[in-house]
Amino acid sequence: MSRKATEASSNGRTADFGSAYEGSNPSASATSPKTANHAEEVRARSLPARLIVVPLGTLPPRILGEVAAGVAGALGVRWKPGPPLDRPSYAFNETRRQFHAPAILRRLAALREGSSNAVLGLVQGDLFLPEDGEYVLGDVDRGSGAALVGLGRLGLEPPALLRRALVEALHVMGSVLGLSSCLDYRCAMFPARDIGDVDRKSPGFCVHCRAALGLP
């Protein structure tokens, strides 16, 4: 099955897609020689004062702390654990056997603790969006400062799972902060279409994306 990726949809949310979904800002070809972040329609915003990281249900050992520390370190911000939430059964679609990402984001937004903070949720499961598509690895609501990563397709072995979760957490947090798709396949902001794309990305931002965020 051919799988394409996109970053920004018309409702202002972003996601890392493993589907045939096309939003209002489809990513450029991965074969392009350019590496700059093309985000003319999105202006990067200030870094959060604090990152609140929330587990939804039971997570594999070490995931929460290591992903949170990795994202916070990459952004140069503080983090703290948010209140653990139960498995989001309210968002589970029995037919698809997947979680409805926007429903979870609405719950996460309520834990932001102020407009200067951002919230990152981690859930052991597969995510989908209602518009179309087979699955998403993560989703974002920029307006509410909330981001979500689903671990269901990132593997079971701890070393690989931890790295992939960190890469995708950086991707969604970059989207919260206004970054769009990056054409550098090594950058966390490159739109992953499958696990191969995730593994080619590094757990960090390229020089262009770092500059857009005001990072050294």
For 55-96, the pLDDT digits (tens) are 999 999 999 999 999 999 999 999 999 999 999 999 999 999
**Angle made by CA atoms 122, 124, 127, in degrees to the nearest 5:** 80
Task: Tell me what the mean pLDDT of segment 122-143 comes to.
Answer: 93
* pLDDT on residue 44: 73
Label residue 196 by pLDDT band (50, 70, 90): very high
Contacts of 1 by beta carbon, 8 Å cutoff, 6+ apart: 20, 134
Hunting for tokens 């593997």 — which residue is that?
Answer: 155
Return the axis-axis angle of helices 158-176 and 63-75, rounded to nearest 10°.
Answer: 40
d(CA 194, CA 8): 18
Q: Which residue has the tokens 């051919």?
A: 2
Residue pair 120/80 in contact (Cβ under 8 Å)? The answer is no
Residue 207 pLDDT: 97
Q: How many other CB atoms sit within 10 Å of the CB of residue 28?
A: 13
Place 131 in a pLDDT band, splitting at 50, 70 and 90.
confident
Helix (H) or strand (E) holding 149: strand 146-150
Tokens 């990563």 belong to which residue?
149
Q: Assign 26 a pLDDT band (cuts: 50, 70, 90).
A: very low
DSSP H/E element including 78? strand 78-81
31 pLDDT band (50/70/90 cuts)?
Answer: very low
Is the pLDDT reported for residue 135 higher than 70? yes
Q: What does the chain come to in residues?
A: 216
CATH of domain 6-212: 3.40.390.10
